[in-house]
């Protein structure tokens, strides 16, 4: 038994009737990696926010290095040596790495003085933990993996002895994840202690010595990774063992939708496409893997009708499309599950009924001569609620009060109800708990069985590998050649994600 | 400190804050009346008496509420679709100008033909006036707050130019006012002998129609969708810009009706002081009504009552009429906070 550096004792936090944390106790020992495992909504974030003084616990206490932290003071945790790397980085893009690291550590008046000293310290830290970084590079020019390194360095620079990493691998390629793990191992050897929040089981098994599993706000078990298995952890997380979704082999049908050498202009922050070809066949799930921001949004927007190709052609049923808009996309029988269900998929202040008919409010049976047939709309919504198991007080509930999973179920129902021929599923399971993820996967596979052509865009490689018949990888607005299910390894896909394989392919073409 | 959404607000939670807001408004107004040298306890009574205390007072309040209902509806419709129409004042004057152009002898029609024609034409004028800023917004991304606001001043100068020039009443003894409308062009009184014209009736009908449009028609549905979340509306395939433009036409038309009804119903002539800021007060009315068309009627009656009541109170108690403006401003600010409190609770942590 090592020295206990962080102790959470009997933490309880209620939000109204919701028990976010119920009597949770945890010990973190020096030099260990403790994984905090749990579905979304299991209470991981609440627990960390209490540790950080963002929330005050109803009861229980937080002890760091033997001293009890005063509740509700964010500064106290930082001063005690706890550092947090958030899932969404908190960096200033227009500043350099060094400036980002020292930001907030010294008063403005002594800025110049500390500059030189800070650079030395930063380089020393980078060296010690093998975090390769150029202190003068602008953060905006860094890759996602490098930005995460800056976040870690920021915490270390503030003399953190305990690091909390919130879903650190969600945005990384397999190679970057590999290098993060090396850093973390190095850090623990140097005496740091780490809390690793994740829901990816194999990563937890690999990096952590101990796993604490939260379910519905309660700590259900703490396990040594040596003495457990991914299946056991999954079962503990969900509460009952789940069967992995069975994917049966299936002959693919005719081509329903095709992108032929499509290029698009750069849209705001999303990368434009360069000469992309994709083919969606009936009864087939085409998975598009890749780190976010590499052209996936453009492909999704193209299929959804939000943008049109600047070059190349879009074909539906073998015929080129001339007029293309979101409305045309809906009318062509394309089911669209948007990436951002809160902003693109639903209107928060509309009721479930109003949200259910949003794509078809002008069409029979929901409209007649400009009047909405609310009776038909409510009936349709009740049907969706029943058939897709949407948990809600009723069709009149404003959708903002639904959980992400239930919101997604309503969207799924709305678009799948008409047996669509093409389905665009953009990050369909992001932010959902395991039960809901399972449900989404089941629905997609069922639609595939019925002969739909499905484009699945996801940053979760496991999801892509599990569901897809064909896999493409996008990087920098380009798309890799198709790979058959089971004929490609994650490492190979990683090569395409990082863009290295594209370069290789080009040099082969050149020679 | 942060705000937390209350999923199902109780009845007291929904009605108590607005009532408290109005009570607080009265207290603040009484205090100010005292500072101004009046008797604070008498002020409220005098305002109520001045607003609804007699048949004359009541009719005055209803007359004053009429243009406020129209501009309030105009603003409520536009704001619901997140089109920030601050230009109801200009649209009001455009309706008034059309009423004068058509009603002073240019058309020798009988009333049943002339009045509907005047309504349609003045609504079109207001609609066209708001169309320009809306197209600039949807096509070029020009901020409509600036364009609609500035158009108010441009239009007031235009009215001034017209009243000094082509529209000047030759019999007006040099005053900048237009000729009087013909009898056929005047809105009749609702009840003979009572000084209340049909403009008020049209305003009530308009509020009811807008309410029905909002909740029953696909256009109303689309308008609300675009207002709440244009991104989701666009994703779902709604023609967002077209809906925005149609909303603008409706909003401009409603505001123009205020001008039409003031000229054809109340005044019978166009002067530069036709509107003491009805277009701007319409924003207060719409906000107090939480953009609900039927709420607009209630809010317009309240605002008109305060104006009319404060007017008579100031004469009786010897305090300035500015008190009415302060009361309305206070009511608006407190109401905005009160509405927040009906939807959210404040959490300390």
Q: Say whether pLDDT at A441 is over 60.
A: yes
Positive or negative: CA dihedral A146, A149, A151, A153? negative
pTM for the model: 0.74
Positive or negative: CA dihedral A460, A461, A465, A468? positive
Round to whole Å and give the CA distance between A274 and A481. 14
Instruction: Give residue for tokens 């001008």.
Output: B259
Do A278 and A133 fall within a single domain? no
Chain A CB within 8 Å of residue B217 CB: yes
**Residue A143 is assigned to a structural domain of this protein:** yes
Q: Where are the alpha helices (DSSP H) in A215-336?
A: 230-238, 296-304, 326-331
List the beta bridge partners of residue A279: A258
- Residues 6+ away with beta carbon under 8 Å from B101: B167
CB pairs under 8 A between A and B: 72
Out of B5, B218, B229, the one facing A347 most closely (by C-beta) is B229
Q: Which two tokens stand for residue A398?
A: 């404003």
Please give the pLDDT value at position A16. Answer: 64
The CATH number linked to A46 is 3.40.50.300
H/E stretch holding B264 reads: none
Mean pLDDT, residues A350-378: 90
Mean pLDDT, residues A253-273: 79
Q: In sequence order, what DSSP letters do the residues of A405-458 get, joined into one string?
A: HHHHHHHHHHHHTT--SEEEEESTTTT--HHHHHHHHHHHHHHHHTT-EEEEE-
Q: Which of B224, B232, B250 to mutate to test the interface with A (most CBs of A within 10 A)?
A: B232
Round to whole Å and give the CA distance between A251 and A273. 30
**Residue B241 is assigned to a structural domain of this protein:** yes
My answer on whether omega of the bond before A208 falls inside 30° of 0, hence cis, is no
Do A490 and A424 fall within a single domain? yes
Out of A326, A347, A362, the one facing B218 most closely (by C-beta) is A362
Round to whole Å and give the CA distance between A348 and A340. 12
At residue A239 the predicted structure's pLDDT band, cuts being 50, 70 and 90, is low
List the beta bridge partners of residue A483: A471
Rounded to whole angstroms, what are the CA distances from A335 to A243, A305, A331, A353, A430? 27, 11, 10, 18, 18
What are the chain B neighbours of A324 within 8 Å (beta carbons)?
none
Round to whole Å and give the CA distance between A438 and A279. 26
**Residue B41 is assigned to a structural domain of this protein:** no
pLDDT digits (tens, 9 = 90+) for A453-493: 999 998 777 788 888 889 998 887 888 888 888 788 777 77
Which of A453, A498, A448 has the alpha carbon at shortest distance from A473? A498
Which of B45, B17, B41, B76 has the alpha carbon at shortest distance from B298? B76
First to last CA, chain A: 60
**Residue B286 is assigned to a structural domain of this protein:** no
**Average pLDDT score, chain A:** 83
Contact A326 B232 (CB under 8 A): no
- Ranked by mean pLDDT, the top range of A396-400, A497-501, B2-6 is A396-400
Q: What is the DSSP letter of A337?
A: E
Domain of A137, in residue numbers: 4-238
Could you tell me which residue, A248 or B330, shows the higher pLDDT?
B330
At residue B202 the predicted structure's pLDDT band, cuts being 50, 70 and 90, is very high
| Number of domains composing chain A | 2
**Residue B334 is assigned to a structural domain of this protein:** no
Do A322 and A199 fall within a single domain? no
H/E stretch holding A258 reads: strand A255-263
Do A92 and A175 fall within a single domain? yes
- 3-state helix, strand, coil split of chain A in percent (to 5) is 35, 25, 40
Please give the pLDDT value at position B188. Answer: 84
**Residue A351 is assigned to a structural domain of this protein:** no
At residue B132 the predicted structure's pLDDT band, cuts being 50, 70 and 90, is very high
At residue B234 the predicted structure's pLDDT band, cuts being 50, 70 and 90, is very high
For chain B, what percent of residues have pLDDT higher than 70? 97
Burial class (CB in 10 A: 0-12, 13-18, 19+), A469: buried
Instruction: Give residue for tokens 């070029």.
Output: B140
**Residue A88 is assigned to a structural domain of this protein:** yes
Q: Say whether pLDDT at A244 is over 60.
A: no
**Residue B191 is assigned to a structural domain of this protein:** yes
Q: Say whether pLDDT at A275 is over 60.
A: yes
| Number of domains composing chain B | 1
- Ranked by mean pLDDT, the top range of A238-247, A311-320, B319-328, B340-349 is A311-320
First to last CA, chain B: 6
Do A111 and A196 fall within a single domain? yes
Do A214 and A283 fall within a single domain? no
Nearest CA in chain B to A329: B237
Do A208 and A311 fall within a single domain? no
Please give the pLDDT value at position A271. Answer: 65
Distance to chain B for A362, nearest Cα, Å? 7
Round to whole Å and give the CA distance between B82 and B227. 5
Mean pLDDT, residues B176-198: 82
Chain A CB within 8 Å of residue B5 CB: yes
Domain of B274, in residue numbers: 82-279
H/E stretch holding B298 reads: helix B293-317
Q: Where are the alpha helices (DSSP H) in A70-110?
A: 74-79, 97-102
Q: Say whether pLDDT at B307 is over 60.
A: yes
Q: Are A93 and A57 in contact (CB under 8 A)?
A: no
Question: Domain boundary residue among A213, A238, A263?
Answer: A238
What are the chain A neighbours of B246 within 8 Å (beta carbons)?
none
Do A276 and A143 fall within a single domain? no
- Residues 6+ away with beta carbon under 8 Å from B277: B89
- Ranked by mean pLDDT, the top range of A214-218, B50-54, B165-169, B237-241 is B237-241
Mean pLDDT, residues A281-303: 86
Contact B228 A325 (CB under 8 A): no
**Residue A152 is assigned to a structural domain of this protein:** yes
* Residue A319 φ/ψ region, left for φ over 0, alpha for ψ in the -120 to 50 degree band, beta for the rest: beta
Mean pLDDT, residues A37-52: 79
**Residue B179 is assigned to a structural domain of this protein:** yes
Q: How far is CA B231 from the centre of its chain?
A: 29
Q: Say whether pLDDT at A278 is over 70.
A: yes
Please give the pLDDT value at position B51. Answer: 85
Interface of A with B (CB under 8 A): 55-56, 72, 304-306, 325-331, 336, 338, 343-350, 354, 358-359, 361-362, 367, 370-372, 374, 400-401
- Ranked by mean pLDDT, the top range of A50-64, A159-173, A338-352 is A338-352
Nearest CA in chain B to A351: B225
Q: Which of B5, B82, B218, B349 to mutate to test the interface with A (most CBs of A within 10 A)?
A: B218
ipTM: 0.82
Question: Domain boundary residue among A238, A269, A297?
Answer: A238
Can you give the C-alpha Rg of chain A in angstroms? 25
Helix pair angle (B55-80, B293-317), 10° resolution: 140
Do A264 and A193 fall within a single domain? no
- Residues 6+ away with beta carbon under 8 Å from A255: A279, A280, A281, A282, A315, A318, A453
Hey, is A330 helix, strand or coil?
helix
Out of A72, A328, A347, the one facing B232 most closely (by C-beta) is A347
- 3-state helix, strand, coil split of chain B in percent (to 5) is 75, 5, 20
Nearest CA in chain B to A332: B237
Please give the pLDDT value at position A242. Answer: 46
**Residue B139 is assigned to a structural domain of this protein:** yes
Could you tell me which residue, A423 or A494, shows the higher pLDDT?
A423
Contact B221 A55 (CB under 8 A): no
Nearest CA in chain B to A72: B349
At residue A1 the predicted structure's pLDDT band, cuts being 50, 70 and 90, is low
Contact A372 B349 (CB under 8 A): no
Hey, is B171 helix, strand or coil?
coil
Strands (E), A410-467: 422-426, 453-457
- Residues 6+ away with beta carbon under 8 Å from B227: B79, B80, B81, B82
Contact B349 A350 (CB under 8 A): no
Nearest CA in chain A to B237: A327
Hey, is B293 helix, strand or coil?
helix
Q: Say whether pLDDT at B78 is over 70.
A: yes
Out of B216, B221, B235, the one facing A338 most closely (by C-beta) is B235
Contact A72 B349 (CB under 8 A): yes
Please give the pLDDT value at position A241. Answer: 44
Distance to chain B for A506, nearest Cα, Å? 36
For chain A, what percent of residues have pLDDT higher than 90? 13
**Residue A52 is assigned to a structural domain of this protein:** yes
Do A325 and A454 fall within a single domain? yes
Do A78 and A133 fall within a single domain? yes
Mean pLDDT, residues A115-119: 81
Q: Are A442 and A245 in contact (CB under 8 A)?
A: yes
Mean pLDDT, residues B2-6: 69
Please give the pLDDT value at position B74. Answer: 96
Instruction: Give residue for tokens 């800070």.
Output: A118
Contact B228 A400 (CB under 8 A): no
Nearest CA in chain A to B215: A372
Do A260 and A207 fall within a single domain? no
Burial class (CB in 10 A: 0-12, 13-18, 19+), B7: exposed
Q: Say whether pLDDT at B244 is over 90.
A: yes
What are the chain B neighbours of A336 within 8 Å (beta carbons)?
235
Distance to chain A for B240, nearest Cα, Å? 11
Round to whole Å and give the CA distance between A121 and A105. 13
Hey, is A419 helix, strand or coil?
coil
């Amino acid at each position: 038994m090592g020295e206990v550096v962080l102790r959470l004792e009997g933490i309880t936090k209620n939000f109204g009737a919701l028990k976010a944390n119920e009597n949770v106790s945890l010990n973190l020992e020096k030099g260990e990696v403790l994984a905090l495992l749990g579905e979304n909504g299991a209470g991981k974030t609440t627990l960390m926010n209490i540790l950080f003084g963002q929330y005050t616990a109803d009861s229980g206490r937080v002890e760091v290095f033997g001293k009890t932290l005063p509740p509700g003071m964010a500064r106290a945790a930082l001063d005690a040596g706890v550092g947090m790397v958030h899932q969404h980085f908190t960096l200033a893009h227009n500043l350099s790495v060094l400036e980002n690291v020292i930001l907030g550590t010294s008063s403005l008046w002594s800025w110049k003085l500390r500059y030189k000293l800070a650079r030395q310290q930063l380089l020393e830290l980078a060296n010690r933990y093998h975090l390769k970084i150029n202190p003068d590079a602008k953060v905006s020019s860094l890759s996602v993996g490098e930005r995460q390194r800056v976040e870690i360095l920021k915490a270390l620079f503030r003399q953190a002895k305990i690091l909390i990493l919130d879903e650190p691998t969600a945005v990384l390629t397999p190679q970057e994840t590999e290098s993060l793990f090396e850093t973390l191992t190095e850090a623990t050897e140097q005496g740091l202690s780490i809390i690793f929040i994740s829901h990816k089981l194999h990563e937890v098994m690999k990096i952590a010595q101990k796993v604490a599993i939260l379910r519905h706000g309660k700590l259900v078990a703490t396990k040594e990774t040596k003495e457990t298995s991914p299946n056991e952890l999954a079962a503990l997380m969900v509460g009952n063992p789940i069967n992995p979704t069975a994917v049966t082999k299936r002959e693919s049908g005719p081509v329903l939708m095709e992108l032929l050498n499509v290029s698009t202009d750069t849209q705001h922050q999303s990368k434009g496409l360069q000469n992309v070809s994709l083919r969606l066949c009936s009864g087939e799930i085409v998975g598009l893997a890749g780190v976010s921001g590499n052209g996936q949004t453009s492909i999704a927007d193209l299929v959804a009708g939000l943008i049109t190709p600047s070059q190349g052609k879009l074909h539906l049923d073998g015929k080129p499309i001339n007029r293309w808009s979101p409305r045309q996309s809906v009318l062509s029988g394309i089911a669209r599950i948007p990436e951002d269900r809160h902003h693109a998929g639903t209107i928060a202040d509309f009721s479930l009924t109003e949200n259910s008919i949003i794509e078809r409010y002008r069409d029979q049976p929901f409209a007649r001569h400009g009047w909405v047939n609310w009776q038909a709309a409510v009936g349709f919504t009740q049907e969706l609620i029943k058939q897709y198991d949407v948990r809600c007080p009723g069709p009149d509930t404003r959708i903002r009060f639904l959980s992400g999973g239930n919101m997604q179920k309503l969207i799924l129902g709305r678009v799948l109800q008409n047996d669509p021929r093409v389905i665009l599923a953009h990050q369909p399971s992001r932010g959902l708990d395991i039960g809901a993820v399972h449900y989404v996967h089941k629905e997609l596979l069922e639609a595939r069985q019925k002969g739909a052509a499905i484009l699945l865009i996801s940053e979760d490689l496991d999801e892509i590998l599990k569901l897809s018949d064909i896999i493409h990888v996008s990087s920098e607005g380009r798309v890799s050649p198709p790979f058959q299910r089971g004929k490609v390894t994650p490492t190979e896909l990683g090569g395409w994600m990082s863009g290295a394989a594209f370069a290789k392919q080009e040099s082969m073409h050149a020679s | 400190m942060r705000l937390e959404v209350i999923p199902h607000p109780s009845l007291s939670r929904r009605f108590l804050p607005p009532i408290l807001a109005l009570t607080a408004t009265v207290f603040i107004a009484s205090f100010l009346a005292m500072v101004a040298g009046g008797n604070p306890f008498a002020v409220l009574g005098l305002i109520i008496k001045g607003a609804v205390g007699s048949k004359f007072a009541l009719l005055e309040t209803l007359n004053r509420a009429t243009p406020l209902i129209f501009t309030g509806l105009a603003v409520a419709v536009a704001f619901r679709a997140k089109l920030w129409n601050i230009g109801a004042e200009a649209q009001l004057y455009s309706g008034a100008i059309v009423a004068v152009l058509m009603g002073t002898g240019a058309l020798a029609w009988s009333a049943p033909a002339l009045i509907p024609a005047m309504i349609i034409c003045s609504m079109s004028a207001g609609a066209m006036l708001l169309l320009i800023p809306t197209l600039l917004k949807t096509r070029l991304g020009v901020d409509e707050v600036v364009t609609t606001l500035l158009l108010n001043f441009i239009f007031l100068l235009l009215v001034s130019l017209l009243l000094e020039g082509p529209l000047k009443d030759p019999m007006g003894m040099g005053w900048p006012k237009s000729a009087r409308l013909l009898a056929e062009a005047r809105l009749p009184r609702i009840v003979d002998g009572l000084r209340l014209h049909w403009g008020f009736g049209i305003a009530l009908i308009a509020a009811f129609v807008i309410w029905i449009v909002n909740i029953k028609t696909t256009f109303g549905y689309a308008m609300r969708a675009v207002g709440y979340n244009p991104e989701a509306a666009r994703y779902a395939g709604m023609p967002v810009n077209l809906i925005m433009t149609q909303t603008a036409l409706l909003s401009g038309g409603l505001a123009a009706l205020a001008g039409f009804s003031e000229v054809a119903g109340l005044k019978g002539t166009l002067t530069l002081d036709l509107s003491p800021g009805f277009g701007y007060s319409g924003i207060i009315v719409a906000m107090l009504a939480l953009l609900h068309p039927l709420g607009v009627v209630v809010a317009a009656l309240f605002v008109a009552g305060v104006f009319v009541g404060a007017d008579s109170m100031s004469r009786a108690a010897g305090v300035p009429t500015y008190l009415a403006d302060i009361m309305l401003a206070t009511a608006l600010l407190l109401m905005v906070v009160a509405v927040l409190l009906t939807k959210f609770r404040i959490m300390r942590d």
